[in-house]
Amino acid sequence: MSRQPIPTRRPADGTFSARTRRVERFWRIFGYDRIDDVIVVFDQVNSTKASFRKRWLLHTIDAPAILPGGFSVTVAPQERPGHGGGRLTGKVLLPREAVISAIGGPGLRVFADDKNYDENGTLYETIRKLGPTNGEPGSWRIEVSPAPG
């Protein structure tokens, strides 16, 4: 296991993240179980205010399946080297009684905080036209957050 801090940065122009400093400290710990071929990711977040909404995100190209206590994402194989396809299955251990959501698809590909940032579909189409070797635009994300209350 390795334990390293992930630095947080704020843009100098005073835009997006300058609105409020939200994270005091963030640690990510990875563990790998060779026998069961399992990776464990543990994130520890200390926010500057307990009332700030916390969300863990995983961006995907294809639509994820939400399962009881977790999720699954499948990537179809492509006819190019290194793209044989695969599947990722995630089991959410913490927070207890987590809310797990899939957000995305047409009209919601870059939807965040009640706003779609896709510039009327032009952003996604521009990235898609670059072709698979110049970027693969994500269309979905999985959000994991604590249960309200």
Predicted confidence (pLDDT) per residue in 13-41, tens digit: 555 555 568 888 999 999 999 999 999 99
Which pLDDT value is given to residue 107?
77
Cα–Cα dist 138/141, whole Å: 8
What's the pLDDT at 68?
95
Closest CA to 69 of 89, 40, 98, 42: 98
- Span 42-58, mean pLDDT? 90
Answer yes or no: is pLDDT of 49 > 80: yes
Pairing of β 111-112 and β 70-75? unpaired
Mean of the pLDDT values across residues 52-73? 92
Residue 138 · residue 64 · CB < 8 Å: no
Instruction: Identify the residue whose tokens are 């961006």.
Output: 59
User: Sorting pLDDT into bands at 50, 70 and 90, what band is 143?
Assistant: very high
